[in-house]
Structure 1
């Protein structure tokens, strides 16, 4: 293959993850995007050189060459304006998230993947309109996404049934929420909404994903979600003057803020 001319396309996504769900692949192809799936790091680098994809989704725990190594090798040849590199991080790969970002990943995404989240980071909205540069498209017509080093994993590797982010604690089994140790009454629908946001604290969760996970449908009136978010903010003690919990990311979805420091 030496000397072969790369196939350059802004509509190619390379997924280096043998366990990727068909739903994610189908979501890309239904939007007219060509998808190539490989199962190890060496093949990922070969295909990246051949296809020059606009977005690469890399499992952190790839065999042959792990995801961090793939990210580092890709970023050595292509800058952030040329390719969006997403590192998939599972519950046992938490330590690799910071290393992946340091190596040049555009963002880390928790596994199992949320289809809407990956599409948004790749620059593909629900209507299938692509934005070149994906997660790097801020300022060029795409959504601005701020992604921290670690996403969507139980804090400190603790019991996943108890989620703690800053002052808020959510006990899944007991169906209880507390703020600074004080119990807060949260209805079932808002409880599920808060759980989804806490599990992905610091990451933008697209509206479509929230509707699917909380209501089981992605085609509902988006005002329904907005109303529940406002109610949940009030229950947590958030105010318009001093917002600290759930922030809206215009045109994309909502993000539960990680505490400063």
Structure 2
């Protein structure tokens, strides 16, 4: 088990925690389990896992707060569990920095596949490690680093993958379904996932996210990344 991917599960419901933990262990993962946000925070300060699965509603320190804190210092994949099914609530969860979410109740096999997809996409090379420039952006696939107008931009793993895919398809309208499929690896999913990540990416690469020059919304079609500024 030394080379097994490590998953940290933070869930206050003992039944859910036990069932999910046992299932993921049976699938070959090394799993650490915590029942509250404060205990999990202490453990995560000592070392981060390969994937973090966190419930939004936790005693002591909420899942949202824990997610924000981890995201400030790491781009590890974060999957959020939530019993809040409203679109606005799911968006708020994603805006804390989560890469993915699953609404309770959920199928254990689906959660395992989401974990597997996060690990696979993180490990797979996105391109030959050769830096390239696209408009005012410079991208280093070998080290997954991005510069915008000469300034390095700190992106999460998912934000980097989204920008990388957009930069390889400039001046083309890309639907949310296509982005979910190609960037997230999902055959289906909630389009709000893409919406939130596009918003976060704009905040990091655009001079004024309210009036983007490069990452545009194409109403009814999706998004278009333009090399030449259009603002």
Q: Which structure dedicates a bigger proportion of its chain to helix?
A: 2
Q: Which structure is larger by alpha-carbon Rg, 1 or 2?
A: 1
- Normalising by structure 2, we get a TM-score of 0.49
